[in-house]
Amino acid sequence: MSTLCEALAAIVGPEYVSDRPEELYIYSMDPGTMPACLPDAVVLPDTTEQVCRIMELANQRKVPVVPLGAGLVLSGLSRPLRGGIVVDMKRMNRVIEVNPMSRYALVEAGTSQGMLQAYLKKHHPQLKHSCPDAPPAATVAGNVSIHGSGHLSLVGGFHSDMLNGLEVVLPTGKLVRIGSCSASPYWFARAPLPDLAGLFLGWAGTTGIITRLAIKLYPNHRFNDVDIFVCEDPELMPDVMYRLSGTQIGEDMTAWMSPKPDWARGFLHCNISYGAGSKEELIWKRNLIRASVRPIIDRKTGGFMPLPKAMKHPFLEVPGRTLSRFADVRKGGGFEYVGAIMPVDLFADAYRIGLEIAADLRVSYSLGARVIGANHCMMFFFAYAFNRADPQDVKQAQNALARTNQRVIAIGAIPWKAEAPAQKEIIGRMDPGAFDLIQAIRKVLDPQGIMNPGNWEIN
Amino acid sequence: MRHADILHRCFRCGYCKLPGNYADFNCPAYLERRFETYSPGGRMWLIRAWLEGRIKTSPRLQDILFSCTACGNCVEQCTLANIKDQLLMAFTAGKEQLLAGGAVPPAVRDCLERLQKYGNPYGVARRKRADWAVSTAVAAFAGQDHLFWVGDEGAYDPRGQQIARSVAGLMARLGVSFGILGADEVSDGNEAKAMGEYDLFEELAATNTAAFAAAGAGSIIALSPHGFNALKNDYPKSGGALAVQHYTQVVAARMAKARFRDDGPAQTVTYHDSCYLGRHNKEYWSARKVLAAVPGLKLVEMERNLQNALCCGGGGGNLVTGILGSGADAAARVRVREAVATGAQVLAVACPTCAIMFEEAVKQEKLEGCLQVREISEIVAERMA
């Protein structure tokens, strides 16, 4: 029998397979705090057919497989916890089709947010997709598969809600199409068929490898603006968000609370961005947004921050380049966050948890929340910066993250893209029937247990 | 190692791999190899792991470090203002560290040995350095206004020699007073430095600086952007402060004197920004001004232009070492496809390295029938009256 690398090289070509120490090292970790786990090999497929053959090989040899996009999840989901093959999908980065009238794009799984954004700007400037607050190298498929959110989530919900269909290679190597594309040449929706997409969303790559996906696109307005509502009382924020989102005008709404810059310390900010086809429409929308929180403004408990036009650019830039700079707060290139999905009602509790943990552990922090849908829930993030050259500092950030996971689960939130240890905490609270069903489904889809093992497991 | 203090500050966010509009990969090494190890962020983390003993010296590590073309895209795109200017220096310091341990790819070793022994990376005798000018009217430097710095490619590579003759001819027609040092010059050392051989660079710079002084040269016109970069930015630190211009700057300033035929065919031209003119020295417009002044030319831009231009893949010694440059994702092949996509019939360059890389790529892509690679002076001269 050939070695694993020889067999993989026969599929993708020798130049796109490696078991050299350099690749094994780099692919053993992500930029977050989770410890490294060495793979046995790294492979870079270029086609769906190659992915099928890789999966068949892995299934035959019972070798673990870990799919990888840009590796920017930060919580270590793409670390090969039990070794095996890391399948780096970024060579498969073609934009296959855009249907402008039905407003969807079909892309390969390695397509980055930036590439799709640039493609739309060039070929379909009237359209845009929802970008997460991640660097542009992050992949569309990776973010959809973890239930990400982004700058159109006030309109469209989670990025997984914006999914129209999937092409997936199952752990056995079998190829399946899900959604309208399973019965039609078009990728317009998941309805009205039995919705199988859920088998691959939120599973941390334990059920298959996405090779293609179609996502919803939205109007790219010519005129855009952002307003920032400011107050000092965290108890007030759910009502602010409720009122602002109730206008159904905003595209994105994010709260942010940070000790830096100095002028922001102690204040709670809520950005609402919106677009329009004309200046008149933009003014009309602005007036409606402002009217929605008029009672709060009249009570003098909050108001809109005066913001010169020039200062609005960083708040309207998608993706925001300034976000990556948080990694250098401690001059150490690191940050990780707990993104806890929770009802908006829990805002004040979450805020206090963040402040308490940051003060107690003396970690550099940034807190915030993105509203999903019409205030249906929010992703509250607790970001902690660390210096990766200082093991103690890394440990302290790990402690802060672990403690945050425990505290938010205790108040009824669920950590998003949870680290393997946090997954176990969630499982501990999960309805046993639901967990049993998860395991039963995995066993059917992945009889050899090769897909990203170590995730969504008790042991 | 120099700049080791910034290695851990890279988050590996990946901006460094992309152009400003994020449309495609813009790091030549990553574009071709596609392993994260070949990205600038991957290099940062690998060098750190290597210095801390978690990765051993290996041919793969050497390949990863020496595949960097020093194009500067990572510096341009990095979001961390406090470290971005040191990225390339850190990669070069990594190469220097490998060199100190005698662990470099054979092609790099051979290239550096030839530079040491012959004063050029081609291993040709120094006395032949002015052969390109035989049968031309180009004179030895003897107090003319400018010294024409031809560089290694212009002196020894057959295509580079054509370009040197063309540029010299155009400058003469535009009334520029210049002469050459010929056998008195050695490599400017730009690539030696980019490969981490600082000592050799200093040696070469000292030899040339002494030759400039002996000849009484005060102003230099460089043919290659690589030489332009070294002479303008690095030689002053080595005691060789002279006024340095790239030839496109000199030509652009004299275009008003140029007289053109009115029967030149209409052509669509796209211009490729050389990394050492553009990103390294922020000189984006002289070549464009020259082309815009030529009747009958329509100048169109590639999607990646100015500070977002995709490198030809020849920098950092790669023109000679050939560490990069294979396969359909080789930067030069991607770039000529991008040029064709503009509808241009001519890919204009202002750098002999770029010309050599792209002409080979045009052959590999079988685009000879639809795209010509022309150096700026060639385009101008053939249309002059």
Chain B partners within 8 Å of A387 (Cβ)? 8
Chain B partners within 8 Å of A117 (Cβ)? 22
Work out the minimum CA distance from B296 to partner chain A, whole angstroms: 28
Q: Tell me whether B302 touches chain A (CB under 8 Å).
A: no
Chain B partners within 8 Å of A336 (Cβ)? none
Choose among A22, A115, A387: nearest Cβ to B22: A115
In total, the C-beta contacts within 8 angstroms joining chain A to chain B are 115
A238 and A299 co-located in one domain: yes
Q: What is the pLDDT along chain B (385 residues), one digit of tens a residue?
A: 999 999 999 999 999 999 999 999 999 999 999 999 999 999 999 999 999 999 999 999 999 999 999 999 999 999 999 999 999 999 999 999 999 999 999 999 999 999 999 999 999 999 999 999 999 999 999 999 999 999 999 999 999 999 999 999 999 999 999 999 999 999 999 999 999 999 999 999 999 999 999 999 999 999 999 999 999 999 998 887 789 999 999 999 999 999 999 888 899 999 999 999 999 999 999 999 999 999 999 999 999 999 999 999 999 999 999 999 889 999 999 999 999 999 999 999 999 999 999 999 999 999 999 999 999 999 999 999 9
Mutation site, A15, A22, A140, A317, interface B, largest B CB count within 10 A: A22
Contact present, B344 and B269 (Cβ < 8 Å) = yes
Choose among A26, A114, A122: nearest Cβ to B46: A26
Query: Would you call B22 and A118 a contact, using CB atoms and an 8 Å cutoff?
Result: yes
Query: Would you call A137 and B303 a contact, using CB atoms and an 8 Å cutoff?
Result: no
Chain A partners within 8 Å of B33 (Cβ)? 15
Contact present, A65 and A177 (Cβ < 8 Å) = no
- 3-state SS string for chain B: CCCHHHHHHCCCCCHHHCCCCCCCCCCHHHHHHCCHHHCHHHHHHHHHHHHCCCCCCCHHHHHHHHCCCCCCHHHHHCCCCCCHHHHHHHHHHHHHHHHHCCCCCHHHHHHHHHHHHHCCCCCCCHHHHHHHHCCCCCCECCCCCEEEECHHHHHHCHHHHHHHHHHHHHHHHCCCCEEECHHHCCCCCHHHHHCCCHHHHHHHHHHHHHHHHHHCCCEEEECCHHHHHHHHHHHHHHCCCCEEEEHHHHHHHCHHHCCECCCCCCEEEEECCCCCCCCCCCCCCHHHHHHHCCCCEEEECCCCCHHHCCCCCCCCCHHHHCCCCCCCCCHHHHHHHHHHHCCCCEEEECCHHHHHHHHHHHHHCCCCCCCEEEEHHHHHHCCEC
Helices (H), A190-336: 237-246, 279-292, 294-298, 309-316
Bond prior to B265 in cis (omega within 30° of 0): no
Domain closes at, from A281, A316, A351: A316
Q: Tell me whether B83 touches chain A (CB under 8 Å).
A: yes
A64 and A7 co-located in one domain: yes
Q: Quick one: pLDDT at residue B326?
A: 87
Give a yes or no: residue A10 inside a domain: yes
Q: Tell me whether B27 touches chain A (CB under 8 Å).
A: no
Q: Tell me whether B22 touches chain A (CB under 8 Å).
A: yes
Query: Would you call B22 and A332 a contact, using CB atoms and an 8 Å cutoff?
Result: no
Q: Quick one: pLDDT at residue B300?
A: 98
Question: Which CATH number fits the domain that encloses residue A20?
Answer: 3.30.43.10
Chain A partners within 8 Å of B15 (Cβ)? 135-137, 321, 324
Backbone angles phi, psi at B378, to 5 degrees: -65, -40
What's the number of domains chain A is made of? 4
A176 and A109 co-located in one domain: yes
Query: Would you call A18 and B35 a contact, using CB atoms and an 8 Å cutoff?
Result: yes
A102 and A215 co-located in one domain: yes
Q: Quick one: pLDDT at residue A323?
A: 79
Domain closes at, from A316, A351, A386: A316
Query: Would you call A18 and B12 a contact, using CB atoms and an 8 Å cutoff?
Result: no
Give a yes or no: residue A450 inside a domain: no
Q: Tell me whether B43 touches chain A (CB under 8 Å).
A: no
Give a yes or no: residue A454 inside a domain: no
Q: Quick one: pLDDT at residue B262?
A: 86
Q: Quick one: pLDDT at residue B240?
A: 78
Q: Tell me whether B53 touches chain A (CB under 8 Å).
A: no
DSSP code at position A32: S
Closest CA to A88 of B33, B11, B44: B33
Chain A partners within 8 Å of B18 (Cβ)? 112, 114, 136-137
Work out the minimum CA distance from B14 to partner chain A, whole angstroms: 6
A55 and A132 co-located in one domain: no
Chain B partners within 8 Å of A322 (Cβ)? 79
Q: Which residues contact A299 (CB under 8 A, 6 or more apart)?
A: none
Q: Tell me whether B222 touches chain A (CB under 8 Å).
A: no
Q: Tell me whether B301 touches chain A (CB under 8 Å).
A: no
A212 and A99 co-located in one domain: yes
Query: Would you call B22 and A114 a contact, using CB atoms and an 8 Å cutoff?
Result: yes
Give a yes or no: residue A446 inside a domain: no
Query: At A157, is the secondary structure helix, strand, or coil?
Result: coil
Q: Which domain holds residue A413?
A: 322-418
Chain B partners within 8 Å of A122 (Cβ)? 23, 303
Closest CA to A96 of A114, A116, A113: A116
Query: Would you call A23 and B37 a contact, using CB atoms and an 8 Å cutoff?
Result: yes
User: To the nearest whole percent, how much of chain A has pLDDT over 90?
Assistant: 95
Chain A partners within 8 Å of B22 (Cβ)? 112-115, 117-118, 136-137
Query: Would you call A118 and B54 a contact, using CB atoms and an 8 Å cutoff?
Result: no
Query: Would you call B37 and A388 a contact, using CB atoms and an 8 Å cutoff?
Result: no
pLDDT in tens, A88-134: 999 999 999 999 999 999 999 999 999 999 999 999 999 999 999 99
Query: Would you call B9 and A113 a contact, using CB atoms and an 8 Å cutoff?
Result: no
Residue of A nearest to B47 (CA): A22
State mean pLDDT over A426-445: 97
Choose among B11, B34, B303: nearest Cβ to A334: B11
pLDDT in tens, A393-430: 999 999 999 999 999 999 999 999 999 999 999 999 99
A262 and A355 co-located in one domain: no
Give a yes or no: residue A452 inside a domain: no
The first and second tokens of residue B379, run together, are 């385009």
Closest CA to A39 of A457, A453, A364, A431: A453
Chain A partners within 8 Å of B64 (Cβ)? 22
A191 and A250 co-located in one domain: no
DSSP code at position A251: S
Query: Would you call B23 and A88 a contact, using CB atoms and an 8 Å cutoff?
Result: no
Q: Quick one: pLDDT at residue A327?
A: 87
A185 and A104 co-located in one domain: yes
Domain closes at, from A186, A219, A252: A219
Work out the minimum CA distance from A115 to partner chain B, whole angstroms: 5
Question: Which CATH number fits the domain that encloses residue A243?
Answer: 3.30.70.3450
Give a yes or no: residue A440 inside a domain: no
Rounded to whole angstroms, the Cα distance separating B29 from B313 reads 8
State mean pLDDT over A200-222: 98
State mean pLDDT over A342-355: 98
Residue of B nearest to A390 (CA): B8
Chain A partners within 8 Å of B9 (Cβ)? 327-328, 331-333
Q: In sequence order, what DSSP letters do the residues of A80-110 get, joined into one string?
A: -BTB-EEEE-TT---EEEEETTTTEEEEETT
Closest CA to B68 of B24, B26, B122, B27: B27
A197 and A309 co-located in one domain: no
A134 and A215 co-located in one domain: yes
Question: Which CATH number fits the domain that encloses residue A393?
Answer: 3.40.462.10
- pTM for the predicted model, two decimal places: 0.97
Query: Would you call A333 and B64 a contact, using CB atoms and an 8 Å cutoff?
Result: no
Residue of B nearest to A139 (CA): B14
Question: Which CATH number fits the domain that encloses residue A141?
Answer: 3.30.465.10
Rounded to whole angstroms, the Cα distance separating A78 from A75 reads 8
Give a yes or no: residue A435 inside a domain: no
Work out the minimum CA distance from A112 to partner chain B, whole angstroms: 9
A267 and A328 co-located in one domain: no
Give a yes or no: residue A238 inside a domain: yes
Query: Would you call A136 and B36 a contact, using CB atoms and an 8 Å cutoff?
Result: no
Rounded to whole angstroms, the Cα distance separating A347 from A344 reads 6
